[in-house]
Amino acid sequence: MPCIEARGLRKAFGNTIAVDNIDLRVEEGRILGLIGPNGAGKTTALNAILGLTSFEGDLKVLGRDPWTDRERLMRDVSFISDVAVLPRWIKVLQALDYMAGVHPRFDRAKAEGFLARTTIKQSSKVRELSKGMVVQLHLALVMAIDAKLLVLDEPTLGLDILFRKQFYDSLLNDYFDGQRTIIVTTHQVDEIQNVLTDLMFIDRGRIVFSTSMDNFESRYFEVTVNPDRLEQARTLKPRHERQVLGRTILLFDGADRAQLAAIGEVRSPSIADLFVAVMSRQPGRSQGAAQ
Amino acid sequence: MNTQANAVPDSSLQSRVDAPPVVPPLQTLYWSLRREFWENRSLYLAPLAVAAVFLLGFAVSITHTIRRIAQATSLAPEKQLQAITTPYDLAAGLLMFTGILVGVFYCVEALQGERRDRSILFWKSLPVSDFTAVLAKAIIPIFLLPLFLFAATFVLHWSMFLLTSAALSASGQSVSAFWTQLALPQMSLLVFYHLVAVHGIWHAPFYAWFLLVSAWARRMAFLWAVLPVLAMVALERLLFNTSNIAGMLGDRLSGGAAEVMTMPGTMPLHPATTHITLLHFLFSPGLWLGLVVTAVFVAGAARLRRYRDAN
């Protein structure tokens, strides 16, 4: 059974189509990065998956309809939505008590273990914590849930680089066990390049690009070319070109690596490079518009 | 319920192999109620503060009170009774009024607040249904608040009673006459019955209505809950020159006491003049109609909570 299966998923707010006829299949045990510009429909699509919004089309998460079966689905799904939304009045201790009270798969000892690595005190209220600490608390609570699907919408927003690094390490080492499925959206795409197993770009409500990371690494190459080799390189049909310090960097899809090595310095592109290349080919989007 | 015992689910070993572990619905409801008291401490702090201030005032003016009791012996029996019971009625009435204010403002905020601060996204990430969440919010003003108000009134009444008895015996007056006339245990029973039956069950449709509007309105839930109703009352008056809506609302607001007991006015709640009419109450159509309306409003609020996005 796939973890998530969507066919013709659509959601409109008035005249604005946030999610436009998406077909999607996420198998168990994958770590999917959902990347897209602001307003691309990522959060709406995730909200549909989490049972927070109604939708048109077919959508099954762990075999359930999230809209009609949210309560039961949430036994197996955990998520952090958008920004820190922990209630400001709650004390850390109360949050632990409550989670332990209502969630059959919450491991309190585990959450306390995560919190022990931070400077968060259990007697503190959320309103007394810094923004970074609130996110740390929320992550500690969510990672202590033995869920089958974890959805993280901008989980590291507002965190410094040290904690972001630590978070993704912890996600891989302490949380991911090869069976859970994780979906993560972030604008700091390059930080999750080594975390993901799958990658999906979404723009204006549609999936515009989708690949596994294995495929990504064997198919896409970036070549830094000196000006004298540029014409020769262009004959190999690069997908995208950009200028850096007087040299040109070309991005190739499915070209022969040996052939590329002859014209310049070859390396794997970053997700951000590929994102820019894909987005700049979208109709109506100039090269610079996709950030 | 013991938090520690519930705290560690036995899920980690068997969870993804066996059938999913489940939290009993009552346990989910229990924690949903606990969480309301964590968030809304005014539910118990406001009545406690009012009771404390009242008790302080009573203690300061105790000499005045025992003088009144001494003078009352020369009055007619009903005047005598009134002189003795007035402070107790005042205390109970004040706490009841506080309870209505606290309950209404609690309901107005209950479902709008969580959307405003977006914490609804956290609550909805947990396996608690919208119905359970809204049910907990309805149970607070309809059942738990009256019980807490009774506890506060009980403690306040008995503190007043002990203070007065001590002052009376210190000044050498008879305490037993005062005890007999006041009949505090019976009075406590009447207060309990009145709070549960009138302030909880009879008023339940009002609280459910405020919850419904709180689930619907994006802002100013109180105005949305009150102004359209007032407009309807005015419109009915203008168009038909009748006041059925106003009459119905007034009956619901103040007619409860007459349904649950016989008494000369609204006060005093004293065994000499007031008698519980429980059977009459249980068979009154108003009770059951009110409960049906409450159920409809609560179900509507739960449905709206599901559809409404965070603000």
Give chain A positions within 8 Å (CB) of B7: 96-97, 100-101, 108
Q: Distance (Å) from the C-alpha of residue A74 to the closest C-alpha of chain B?
A: 5
Which range (A124-138, A152-166, B248-262) has the least confidence?
B248-262
Closest Cβ–Cβ partner in B23, B30, B119 for A87: B119
Query: Which residue from A minimizes the CA distance to B305?
Result: A52
Q: Distance (Å) from the C-alpha of residue B135 to the closest C-alpha of chain A?
A: 15
Cβ of A104 within 8 Å of Cβ of B22? The answer is yes
Query: Which residue from A minimizes the CA distance to B26?
Result: A102
Query: Which residue from B minimizes the CA distance to A53?
Result: B307
Cβ of B34 within 8 Å of Cβ of A53? The answer is no
pLDDT of residue B1: 40
How far apart are alpha carbons A67 and A53 in whole angstroms? Answer: 7
Phi, psi at B150, each rounded to 5°: -60, -45
What is the rounded average pLDDT of the residues B72-95?
85
Interface test with B, best of A71, A90, A145 (most B CBs within 10 A): A71
Give chain B positions within 8 Å (CB) of A74: 124-128
| pLDDT tens digits, one per residue of A195-233 | 899 999 999 999 999 999 999 888 899 988 888 888 888
| pLDDT tens digits, one per residue of A165-200 | 888 888 888 888 888 999 999 888 888 888 899 999
pLDDT of residue B7: 44
Label residue A291 by pLDDT band (50, 70, 90): very low
Closest Cβ–Cβ partner in A74, A82, A85 for B127: A74
Is residue B28 within 8 A of residue A79, CB to CB? The reply is: no
Query: Which residue from B minimizes the CA distance to A138?
Result: B122
Closest Cβ–Cβ partner in A52, A53, A103 for B126: A103
Domain spans of chain B? 24-307
pLDDT of residue A285: 57
Residues 114-153 of chain B whose Cβ lies under 8 A from any Cβ of chain A: 114, 117-122, 124-129, 132
**Which residue would you say has higher pLDDT here, B67 or B77?**
B67
Own/partner contacts of B183-187, CB < 8 Å, gap of 24 or more, are B183/B270, B183/B271, B183/B272, B184/B88, B184/B157, B184/B158, B186/B271, B187/B85, B187/B88, B187/B157, B187/B269, B187/B270, B187/B271
Closest Cβ–Cβ partner in A53, A75, A85 for B119: A85
Give chain B positions within 8 Å (CB) of A142: 125
pLDDT of residue B42: 94
Closest Cβ–Cβ partner in A91, A97, A104 for B21: A104
Q: DSSP string of chain B?
A: --HHHHHS-THHHHTTTSSPP---HHHHHHHHHHHHHHH-THHHHHHHHHHHHHHHHHHHTHHHHHHHHHHHTTS-HHHHHHHHHHHHHHHHHHHHHHHHHHHHHHHHHHTHHHHHTSTHHHHTTSS--HHHHHHHHHHIIIIIHHHHHHHHHHHHHHHHHHHHHHHHHHTT--SHHHHHHH-HHHHHHHHHHHIIIIIIIITHHHHHHHHHHHHH-SS-HHHHHHHHHHHHHHHHHHHHS--HHHHHHHHHHHSHHHHHEE-SSS----TTT-EE-HHHHHT-HHHHHHHHHHHHHHHHHHHHHHHPPP-
Closest Cβ–Cβ partner in A75, A81, A106 for B121: A81
| pLDDT tens digits, one per residue of B190-234 | 999 999 999 999 999 999 999 999 999 988 999 999 999 999 889
What is the rounded average pLDDT of the residues B12-39?
78
Q: Which of B12-16, B76-80, B96-100 has the highest mean pLDDT?
A: B96-100
pLDDT of residue B59: 93
| pLDDT tens digits, one per residue of A120-144 | 999 999 999 988 888 889 989 999 9
Cβ pairs bridging A and B (under 8 Å): 123
Average pLDDT, chain A: 88
pLDDT of residue A6: 94
| pLDDT tens digits, one per residue of B111-165 | 999 998 889 999 999 999 999 999 999 999 999 999 999 999 999 999 999 999 9
pLDDT of residue B17: 47
Give chain B positions within 8 Å (CB) of A179: 16
Query: Which residue from B minimizes the CA distance to A148?
Result: B16
ipTM value > 0.90: no
Q: Which of A81-90, B85-94, B278-287 has the highest mean pLDDT?
A: B85-94
Q: DSSP string of A168-227?
A: HHHIIIII--SSSEEEEE-S-GGGGTTT-SEEEEEETTEEEEEEEHHHHHHHEEEEEE-G
What is the rounded average pLDDT of the residues B103-108?
96
Phi, psi at A209, each rounded to 5°: -165, 140
Query: Which residue from B minimizes the CA distance to A139?
Result: B122
Cβ of B38 within 8 Å of Cβ of A91? The answer is yes
Label residue B64 by pLDDT band (50, 70, 90): confident
Superfamily per CATH, domain A4-204: P-loop containing nucleotide triphosphate hydrolases (3.40.50.300)
Nearest Cα neighbor of A236 from A273, A263, A218, A266 is A263
pLDDT of residue B259: 77
Give chain A positions within 8 Å (CB) of B128: 71, 74, 102
**Which residue would you say has higher pLDDT here, A269 or B18?**
A269
pTM: 0.87
Closest Cβ–Cβ partner in A81, A104, A179 for B23: A104
Cβ of B11 within 8 Å of Cβ of A179? The answer is no
What is the rounded average pLDDT of the residues A8-31?
92
pLDDT of residue B98: 96
| % of chain A with per-residue pLDDT over 90 | 46
| pLDDT tens digits, one per residue of A70-114 | 999 999 999 987 666 899 999 999 999 999 999 999 999 999 999
Three-state DSSP at A88 gives coil
| % of chain B with per-residue pLDDT over 90 | 52
Domain spans of chain A? 4-204, 215-280
pLDDT of residue A19: 92
pLDDT of residue B19: 54
What is the rounded average pLDDT of the residues A2-27?
92
